[in-house]
Amino acid sequence: MAEVRYRALKIGWIRAGMGCVVGFSSLFVLGAGAMLLTLDSVAGVLGAGVCLMVVLFSLAAMLIGTRLQFTVDDEGLTLVHYVRSHRIRWEEVAVIQQTADYWTAGAAVVVLNEPLGRRITALATTDRMAVYRGENFLRWGSPATELRTPTRAAIEAHRRWLANSSR
């Protein structure tokens, strides 16, 4: 089992907080749906069905929206995005960079050996997610000049693996 060196987001607390908000509002919507069922018409049944669909959609959006992860361990990187996950071994990594693009500023970018030059951006490491990671973003400089904590952790782990594999 590989030792985890860095984990960008601990989604348990985020899901718990979001679950409280979504859960409370879902109870309100389900209560309205139950009241609609007391109507003796098709409109009441359809309204209750719409309420149920809104609750299910809200729960699915919360679960998918809180999936972002970035984990650095001795064997490689794990990048979990909203829909897709990537497990990248250190052998596959050419270099780790940091982007300064507007939407993904400060995000760690993994450049792969095969296919040559393929870039995967870790969405959990963007500056926009810094508050969820518990980082103080007020002390940061420009992402073009200053490496963020997730990028530094990934670069250090990659260098450690390169040093051990060259012996």
| Percent of the chain's residues with pLDDT above 70 | 99
| Percent of the chain's residues with pLDDT above 90 | 62
Task: Give the pLDDT score at 55.
Answer: 96
Are the C-beta atoms of 102 and 95 separated by less than 8 Å? no
- Find the range with the poorest average confidence among 43-47, 61-65, 128-132: 128-132
b/e per residue, 128-161, with b = 16+ CB within 10 A? Answer: ebbebbebeeeebeebeeebbbbbebbbebbeeb
Question: Residue 167 pLDDT > 70, yes or no?
Answer: no
When pLDDT is averaged across residues 120-149 and rounded to a whole number, the result is 86
Task: Give the pLDDT score at 8.
Answer: 84
Question: Residue 132 pLDDT > 90, yes or no?
Answer: no
b/e per residue, 11-34, with b = 16+ CB within 10 A? Answer: beebbeebeeebeeebeebeeebe
Query: Tokens standing for 74?
Result: 């001795």
The three-point CA angle 69-5-132 to 5° equals 35
- Find the range with the poorest average confidence among 26-30, 122-126, 131-135: 131-135
When pLDDT is averaged across residues 53-78 and rounded to a whole number, the result is 93
